Amino acid sequence: MAPSLSSTFSSSLLKWMDVQVLLVSTIVFLLLADIMRRRRPKTFPPGPLCWPVIGNTVTIDFKKAHLEMCRLAEQYGNIYSLKTNSSWSVVLNGYKMVREALVTQGDTMADRPESALTVEVSNCPGVVTSNGYLWRQQRKFALFTLKSFGVGKKSLESAILDEFTHLSRDIEELDGKTFNPHLTTNYAVANTSLVFGHRFEYTDKKFQTLLAMFEKMTELEVSIWAQTLRNIYDHEKVFLREEIEQHKKDWEPSEPRDYIDCYLNEIEKSKENTAAGFTEDNLIMCSLDLFVAGSETTSTTLRWSFLYMAKYPEVQEKVQAEIDRVIGQSCLPTMADRADMPYTDAVIHEIQRIGNIAPLGLPRYTKDVQLSDYLIPKGTEIIANLISVMFDKEEWETPHTFNPGHFLNKEEKFVKNPASSHSQQGKECVSGKA
């Protein structure tokens, strides 16, 4: 006998209810499993509630992450934990905590997290994001090469002063008209780079495009626009590969002219040592690291200098008076003059402090380590919130006020503040591990 309509409906309803129960049970099980997986380890520092699946991604406004991290420090202390992806991160705030991690126990957290974007753009990590033996070889080579071309030595002064004459001439041609110094300072600072071994004219369209892409890349590094960032990387790699090919045409191994020449020499020497990572692809990434870190940060600091000199004319007058007294108006400055210009030195350091152009240090991976009262397991991401050091109220008399006195003693002599020194060490991690 054929089943009735009502019995068929009841059977279908029961099956649908079974599917619903199974679906709900599966969802609940997965949520509970995720909650257990994301539960903060007992030895971990405290932190905000970690939501299932999304972790703490809704806790942080990533457009102003450094300020959000300062806000969380007020609630949870100078060391706390977050979960913004599949693993835990520990955030450090304040001079004492950052110093303990980056200086006292710096060897335990020297590795960098692998950047998914860098891997996608290129299989070569460059200098900044490499680790272990490869990083040590690349860093050692970069430091030795740049020092041989004058970094940290008096011989580099002539190149800087020469570029300054081009910059001043460019400004003089404006004949007193108002202008935006952004591009001009970018061009000048980039031209003192030791990567390419030659200067570019400020009107060079390829040079202008390259620097514009570098600036956009810096903005996008902290955004979600990964596809745009990949496109920029692709264009930059084309430019750098053209530079490398041009170098190879008139390359004399016995007479290297710049970083690229020296790297080409090292590629030939290290063919058997593939673990050291000396390849043309990695040369592109290393050149990008050095060029961006050495130009964008410096030009941004200069623009902050213009801003603060305009905002505080009384400070500008004192700086100008010291320049006139020590150097005069017909001579160019040298590093030897620095010792006789304590006020100018203090102003420059205060601009670097309050300008705070790199508020967050690049993330690190730690070995098993104890920080404060907490045991942090190997593989945990460490984030140093450097803005919390630059504005630490326990280290600075007026942390939120532009005050060159932060770097002057009672006798008006220049003195370094330890908080500034260690935060600067953290900032150097943006261009390479300290």
pLDDT in tens, 108-136: 887 777 656 556 655 667 777 777 788 88
Q: In this structure, are strands 381-384 and 89-92 parallel, antiparallel, or unpaired?
A: parallel
pLDDT per residue as tens digits for the range 25-46: 666 555 555 555 556 777 889 8
Alpha helices in 113-204 (DSSP H): 116-121, 132-148, 156-172, 182-191
In the predicted model, what is the mean pLDDT of residues 215-243? 71
> How many degrees, rounded to 5, is the angle at CA 68 between CA 66 and CA 69?
65
Question: pLDDT-based confidence at 95, cuts 50/70/90?
Answer: very high
Pick the closest to residue 270 from 282, 254, 257, 286 (CA basis): 282
Give residue 96's identity as a one-letter amino acid code.
K
182-191 and 205-220 helices, crossing angle to 10°: 100
Residue 281 belongs to what H/E stretch?
helix 280-311
| Residue 434: pLDDT over 90 | no
Contact criterion met (CB below 8 Å) for 257 and 159: no
Contact criterion met (CB below 8 Å) for 130 and 122: no
pLDDT per residue as tens digits for the range 361-401: 778 888 888 888 898 888 888 999 999 999 999 999 999 99
**190 vs 198, 199, 350, CA distance in Å?**
11, 8, 23
pLDDT at 220: 60
In the predicted model, what is the mean pLDDT of residues 168-186? 85
60 or 238: which carries more pLDDT confidence?
238
Residues 6+ apart with CB under 8 A from 18: none
Contact criterion met (CB below 8 Å) for 397 and 415: no
**This prediction's pTM:** 0.78
226-249 and 205-220 helices, crossing angle to 10°: 140
Mean model confidence pLDDT for the chain: 80
pLDDT at 190: 80
Number of CB atoms found within 10 A of residue 387's CB: 19
Pick the closest to residue 251 from 321, 291, 197 (CA basis): 197
Number of CB atoms found within 10 A of residue 185's CB: 20
60 or 80: which carries more pLDDT confidence?
80
Residue 80 belongs to what H/E stretch?
strand 79-82
In the predicted model, what is the mean pLDDT of residues 264-282? 90
- Domain 62-428 in CATH 1.10.510.10? The answer is no
Domain ranges of the chain: 62-428
pLDDT at 182: 83
Residues 6+ apart with CB under 8 A from 393: 399
3-state secondary structure of 58: coil
Number of CB atoms found within 10 A of residue 147's CB: 13
Pick the closest to residue 359 from 74, 38, 68, 19 (CA basis): 68
Radius of gyration of the chain (CA): 27
Q: What percent of the chain has pLDDT over 90?
A: 23
**N- to C-terminal Cα distance for the chain?**
85
Adjacent-strand bridge partners of 82: 89
**Per-residue tokens: 223:** 């955004």
Q: What is the DSSP string of 335-374?
A: GGGGGG-HHHHHHHHHHHHHH-S--BPPPEE--SEEETTE
pLDDT at 309: 95
Looking at residue 377, the DSSP 8-state letter turns out to be P
**Per-residue tokens: 54:** 């999304």
Number of CB atoms found within 10 A of residue 281's CB: 14
